[in-house]
A and B are shown apart, each in its own frame.
Chain A
Amino acid sequence: MFERLRAMLIKEFIQVFRDPRMRIVLFVLPALQTVIFGYAVNMDVKNIPTAIFDRDNSSESRELAAIMASSGYFRIVRHIDHDDDARKLLDRGTVRLVLHIEHGFSEQLRGGETAPVQALLDGSDSNTAGVIMGYLARLASDYNSRLQSAYATRLAGQPPRIGRVELASRAWFNPNLESPPFYVPAVITNILFVITMLLSSMAIVREKEIGTIEQVIVTPIRKGEFILGKTLPFVLIGYIDVFLISAVGALVFDTPVRGSLWLLFLATTLFLMSSLGIGLLISTVSHTQQQAMMSAFFIIFPAMLLSGFAFPIENMPQPAQWLTLLNPLRYYMVVIRGIFLKGVGLDILWPQLAAMTMIGSVVLLVAVGRFRKTIG
């Protein structure tokens, strides 16, 4: 048996790696993608491009702009002096915010009155707009406290003592609230899933389409050996990619694996069972590689989107949350994030591992059961 399996493995390895471009696709691109996507996948809102429309042009209005610029949240890219410019800049997306300070701003403040300032906000990205609104509230409160204590000092002859509430915030697990520690592990899971599933889904159907399956069928190889021979190379590719991407993550993004490497290995094995199993299942029910690729994407997309990668599962409606329970990527994501971010171990992650074991075994059994070593 081992002899036949070995022969099969040799054939498969030659087939996968014969094309040097394939080697690049399988080993260089994942690392490159991790770097690009690790930097790109970032929801931090900083340096909001802002235009100032200052019709007052006083020391007060300039101070407001200065506080804004020094906050780090806003980047003043334009000073405009026309209403139309505001429209144009917001239309084109050059700025997201226009601060419109009217004539008489400083006079109103000096007279102890309320001076309105209009903030025109591009709401098309509702999430970012919400964050900007929060920053604006903080900006207003900063500016007012300076303004009013100066005013009260002038009245009372000494700085007043005014009570205020401050938040001393501490973020657990990710103290600086940086995106990479959260998203880099997620990028690993996505890339691994896409590569292994696409490879395995096209594996058997490729032989069917070109006709070489007939040659395989006439050999004495058994069904189990054939499937093992088809999947083992991908398992190996999967391990190498996980190792490669984790190393890139640790070096470039400083997201070291805090938990146990053995646990990572175990979880990857269980996950590969599912992803390769689904791929094989697709391969057995498809007739052309086109069909196999379409079917694979039909599963890849919902699996990626319902994995909690960018969209928190808790926010989904209940039926969608139930659907995620069938998603192996969801469990792998929790495990990988747990190992990378929190360094947690088997005692916390065992339910996820158990779920992956179940999904993986069922899918693999069905795939092997469906496979026929006959033409027809």
Chain B
Amino acid sequence: MNLRRLKSVARKEFLHVLRDPRSLMMGIGMPMMLLFLFGYALTMDVDRVPLAVWDQSQTVESREFISRFSGSRYFDLRISTDNYRQIEVAIDRREALIALVIPADFSRRLSMGEAAVVQTVVDGSDPNTATIALGYAEAATATFSRDIMLKQMRNIANTRSEAIPTQGKLPVMELRPRVWFNTDMVSRNFIFPGLIAVVMMIMAAILTSLCMAREWETGTMEQLIVTPVTATELIFGKLTPYFCIGILDLVLCVGVGEFVFDVPLRGSLWLLAPLSMLFLFGALSFGILISIITKSQLLASQIGIVTTVLPAFLLSGFIFPIENMPLPIQAVTHIVTARYFVFILRGIYLKDVGIGVLWPEVLFLTGFGVLVMTAAIRKFRKKII
């Protein structure tokens, strides 16, 4: 490899980038747009679920039961009604996501020591929100039941146990959840590190997947072929300006996380920086490989989005947890490089882990980068076909 030749290719590529300010602006603007969209507009948090209630019982107990819902931050009591029709309409129009119908014999059954069944209707068209809302409802009901049970059990324990040493006592297993890493359970802290990984992957693919194909398509590759530049020099030279843009994007992302969104960075920046460069190298090389293989910008753009952009969004564990996927799909995620970077960034951001935990991912990213770069160099033919 001759550094002088590499430098001239890099210089030429820099000029290409600088002469097209619109693309450059978008190269920097796109990550910002994604960050701000996720930061301000998009949230998966389910709270203040709109609730409709039909209380047929109208007793102290039923009102107490309802207050367990209306008093929690997860539910927002929007509609109190006295007929089924209105509940149907409310759910159809999405004015309520969940509806409770409390039976007339609610209190009587409770005091008789029987199960009082509350009919619950939930709009299942968005199963994610519906499941979470039902989970809240189940949890609220479970605590209400527990309180009733405790009261009634204590009565039994008090009255029946004169001769027993454990008089008036009741065994209770108390689960005390303690949340680690993202103690306040803010979804932004979870989404943000993963988002950086996805953004970097997308930018790398978009920036480089056309750069070789363009030279083939417009015919300028012939001019490059007649120069003494080798495949390695050409590829590394082409990579240089995009690597710089990638680093710039990364700095901007981390900066926005730090200063705009207050996402805590618990781990070390000195670990984050080299690992990001490692990832960036692999991702850019992959874009170049696509470009070399396809030789057509139209095809390269389609293959780029299919192999990098969509998997980065959907298969990296960024939003949809990998462990919920069926096993064959989980196997597929192992070849999605963004997956490893998402894991690394979350580890550094949220858990403050070091290379001792992250080494398998680092190993993979290194192997991937070397493999793809070698493939790109070998696939590139300095010949006109």
Contacts and interface: CB of A to CB of B under 8 A. Distances in A.
B173 A127 contact: no
Nearest to B17: A290
A138 interface: yes
Report, as a range, how many residues of chain B touch the other chain.
35 or more
A172 B123 contact: yes
Nearest to B62: A165
A346 B183 CA distance: 47
A197 to B, nearest CB: 10
Interface string B14-39: 00000010110011011001100110
A167 B138 contact: yes
Contact of B37 (A110, A139, A291, A305): A305
A315 B171 contact: no
Nearest to B161: A155
Given A155-B156, A162-B152, A206-B297, A148 B170 contact: yes
A112 interface: yes
Interface stretch (A3-11, A38-46, A262-270, A354-362): A38-46
A294 B26 contact: yes
A129 B42 contact: no
B301 A293 contact: yes
A350 interface: no
Interface string A1-29: 00000000000000000010110011001
A164 B175 contact: no
A43 B324 contact: yes
Interface in A31-83: 33, 36-37, 39-47, 49, 64
A241 to B, nearest CB: 12
B306 A29 contact: yes
Contacts of B351: 90-91, 124
B174 A294 contact: no
B166 A111 contact: yes
A311 B126 CA distance: 10
Interface string B173-201: 11111111111011101100000000000
Contacts of B86: none
Nearest to A308: B126
Nearest to B42: A311
B139 A138 contact: yes
A120 interface: yes
- Return the 9 tightest CB-CB contacts between A and B, nearest first: A161-B113, A112-B169, A171-B124, A134-B135, A174-B124, A163-B110, A320-B41, A123-B179, A43-B128
Given A90-B180, A301-B30, 5 more contacts: A111-B169, A160-B152, A163-B114, A167-B117, A167-B138
